[in-house]
Amino acid sequence: MPSKTTDISIKAIAPISYTLYYGTFIHTPTLTNLEISFNTIVGVNSQGVIDYIYKEYHPIDHNSQSPIEFFCKQQGTYTDEDVNFIDISRDYTKFFFPGFIDTHIHASQFPNVGIGLDTPLLDWLNKYTFPLESQFCGDGDKKMEFAKLVYTRVIQRTLLNGTTCASYFTTIDPETSNYFAELLLKLGQRGFVGKVCMDCNEPYPKYEESLEDCIKSMNKIIDHLDDINPEFDTLVKPIITPRFAPVCTREMLTYLGNLSKRKSLPIQTHISENKSEIELVAKMFPDCGSYAEVYNRYNLLNEATILAHCIHFSPEECQLIADKNCSVSHCPTSNTFISSGEAPIRKYLYDYHINVSLGTDISGGFDSSILHIIKHAILVSHHLSMKPVEETAIDCKLSMTEGLYMSTMGGARAVGLEDQIGSFTKGKKFDCQLIDLSTTTTTTTATDVFAWQVPQASESADVKYAKMVDLLGKWVFSGDDRNCVAVWCNGRQVVDKTTTTGVDAKSNGVE
C-alpha cells in the first residue's frame, strides 16, 4: 500500500475479482488497422491484466454453453461463482474501446478553459497562464486548497471523457505537484506528473525558480512518487518537464538532460508552436541551428521524449526528431484556438515515420475530451488538403482509423507503455471505456442511431463490419462524454454512469 496517501479509499489499487467481458471490442493495434471483434470474450485477472481472449464466441457452436460456462470449463481454475460477468453482446450500439491517452495537458490551467481566444502564445502565457499557475505556489494551506479544487476537477473531467492515462504539466511547486500525484492514485487514473521547470522567465519574473530550487523540487517529487506507488505496478511517474526553451537557461537544460538519463525518466516539452516563439529561441540560442537542435544539444531528445505542437518544423528538424525516435503530441484545438498554425501530421506519420499522439493541451485547448481532439485532428488535416498543392503535401487527410490509433496506441508509444496499454492484447492492462451510442441516461442522447444502421446478428461479417465503421463515425463526429458510460483503469472501474451512484464530484471520496 502507498505510504503517504490519505486515509480515503484509493481506486487505483482497489481489490478486484476475475472478470469476463463479452461483447464487441474495437481497437487499432496498428496505424492502418481498425479491428472490430464481435461476440468476443475478454478475461481480466485480479491484477487488472488481460489474460484471456476468445473471439467470435457463439453459444450455439459450443453445446449452448454460456460464455462464462465455456471459459470455466476451458480454463479449469475457476467456477462461475468466482468470476464477474459483464455481457453487452446483445446490443451492437455498445462496444468496448481502449481508454484514451492524453499526451499533453496542463492540469493547473483547467480553470482557464475557453479563455483568451486568439491571443498569441507569448502574450497568452503572460496574461492568463502565469498568473493562474502562480496561485499553486507559496506557503500555507491556501495553495493546497486551490490545488485540491482544480486538480480534482481536471482528473474527474478527463476520466468522465474516457481518458485512462495522461501526461500532465503541473507548476513549479513541488508540494502541490506531489498532491496531484496522490489524487491520480485516489481517483484511479494512470498518469505522468511533470513539475514545470523554468528559471529564466524574464517577461513574468514573479513565476520562475532558481536552478537550486528546481533540483530540490525534482528530488522531492521523484522520492515521493517512489513512495506512493503500489508494489505491483508504477501507476504514477515523474516526467522531466522543461516548460520550453525560452524560459530555461543552458544550465537548467543541462541538468534536466542529465537527470533524465541518470534516472531513466521520460521528457515532455513544447516546441515550434508559434513563429514568434521560434524567432525568440533563435535569438536566445544563436549557436543552435534550429529549435529542435537546442533540445538535442542538451540531451533532451530520445525515444522517451514527447514534443507538443510541432507545427512549424523544417525538414531537418523532422529528420532529427525521427532519428531520435521522439513522439509528437498533436494538439489541434489549441493550435486553432491560439491561431498557432496547422501541423502536417500525415507528413510526420508517413514521410518521416514519427510516432504521433494526441493532446488536449488544456487550457490552450478548449476541450478535455480526446474524442473531440480526434475529430479536430481529422478536420485540420482536411483544411490542409484544401490549400494549394504548392503550399502543402498533396495527401494531407487523416483517416478515422489513424485518428483512433493516435488516441490510443500512438499515445501508449509516446508515454513508453505500448507493451502495457493502448489495445486489447493478452498481457496488457485493461484500460478501457464502454461506449453506448443509444444511451438515455441524460435528457438527450449524444448521437442519433437508426435501426437500419445497427448491425444484426444474422448479417454477414462484412456487412456487420461496415455498419460498425459507420457507427464509429457517428461516435467520433457527433458523440461526447455522454456516450462514455463506464471506464476501467488498471482493471478497476473508475467511472460508472449506468447507476445513480456513478462517479461524480461527490462520489470520489473528495470532499
Is residue 203 predicted with pLDDT exceeding 70? yes
386, part of any domain: yes
Per this entry, what is the length of the chain? 511
Domain shared by 133 and 84, yes or no:
no
Same structural domain, 462 and 338? no
Q: What is the pLDDT of residue 485?
A: 95
Q: Is the pLDDT at 429 greater than 90, yes or no?
A: yes
Same domain, 124 and 259: yes
Q: What is the model's pLDDT at position 231?
A: 79
Q: Report yes or no on 487 lying in a domain.
A: yes
Q: What distance in Å separates the CA atoms of residue 328 and residue 312, rounded to the nearest whole number? A: 12
Residue 284 domain-assigned (yes or no):
yes
pLDDT at 445 > cutoff 80? no
Domain that holds residue 281: 100-414
DSSP three-state, residue 128: helix
Residue 507, pLDDT above cutoff 50: no
Q: How many domains does the chain have?
A: 2
How confident is the model at residue 393, as a pLDDT?
52
* Residues in a beta bridge with 238: 193
Co-location of 182 and 83 in the same domain:
no
Instruction: Identify whether 501 is part of a domain.
Output: no
Indicate if 255 and 360 belong to the same structural domain.
yes
Are 302 and 340 contacting, i.e. CB atoms less than 8 angstroms apart?
no
Dig out the grid coordinates for 347 from the structure: 507528413
Same structural domain, 40 and 73: yes
Answer yes or no: is pLDDT of 16 > 50: yes
Residue 404: CATH number of its domain: 3.20.20.140
pLDDT score at 444? 61
* Boundary-marking domain end, from 373, 394, 414: 414
User: Looking at the structure, do residues 256 and 395 belong to the same domain, yes or no?
Assistant: yes
- Whether residue 91 is found in the same domain as residue 116: no
- What is residue 380's three-state secondary structure? helix
Residues 6+ apart with CB under 8 A from 302: 260, 267, 324, 325, 326
**Under 8 Å between Cβ of 213 and 36:** no
Tell me, what's the pLDDT at 392? Answer: 55
| CA-based nearest residue to 201, from 209, 190, 211 | 209
Average pLDDT over residues 24-32: 98
- pLDDT (mean) for 103-110: 98
Average pLDDT over residues 6-12: 60
Is the same domain home to 109 and 49? no
pLDDT score, position 10: 80
Statement: residue 215 has pLDDT above 60:
yes
**Hey, which residues does 19 pair with through a beta bridge?**
44, 84
pLDDT, tens digit, 9 for 90 and up, residues 268-325: 999 999 999 999 999 999 999 999 999 999 999 999 999 999 999 999 999 999 999 9
> How confident is the model at residue 499, as a pLDDT?
73
On whether residue 138 sits in a domain, the answer given is yes
CATH number at residue 436: 2.30.40.10
More confident residue, 4 or 206: 206
Residue 419 CB coordination number (10 Å): 12
Last residue of a domain, one of 414, 434, 468: 414
The answer to whether residue 345 scores a pLDDT higher than 70 is yes
298 and 185, same structural domain? yes
Residue 341 lies in a domain: yes
- In this prediction, residue 230 carries a pLDDT of 85
pLDDT given for residue 80 in this prediction: 85
* pLDDT range class, residue 2, cuts 50, 70, 90: very low
pLDDT tier at 510, thresholds 50, 70, 90? very low
pLDDT digits (tens, 9 = 90+) for 141-193: 999 999 999 999 999 999 999 999 999 999 999 999 999 999 999 999 999 99
**Are the C-beta atoms of residues 495 and 502 closer than 8 Å to each other?**
yes
Query: Does the pLDDT at position 235 exceed 60?
Result: yes
pLDDT in tens, 125-155: 999 999 999 999 988 899 999 999 999 999 9
Do the domain assignments include residue 58? Answer: yes
Do 246 and 368 fall within a single domain? yes
| Each residue's pLDDT tens digit, 362-402 | 999 999 999 999 999 999 999 999 988 665 556 899 999 99
Residues 256 and 366 in one domain: yes
Flag whether 1 is in a domain: no
Q: Could you report the per-residue pLDDT of 453-500, keeping only the tens digit for each?
A: 999 999 999 999 999 999 999 999 999 999 999 999 999 999 999 874
Q: What is the DSSP secondary structure assignment for residue 350, as one 8-state letter?
A: I
Residue 4 has pLDDT above 60, yes or no: no
Tell me the DSSP string of 3-23. Answer: SSS-SS--GGG-----EEEEE
Torsion of CA 439, 28, 430, 195, to 10 degrees: -100
Q: What is the pLDDT of residue 504?
A: 36
Pairing of strands 94-98, 432-436: antiparallel
Q: Which helix (H) or strand (E) holds 316?
A: helix 315-323
- Tell which of 414, 434, 457 closes a domain: 414
Q: Cβ distance 13 to 1 under 8 Å?
A: yes
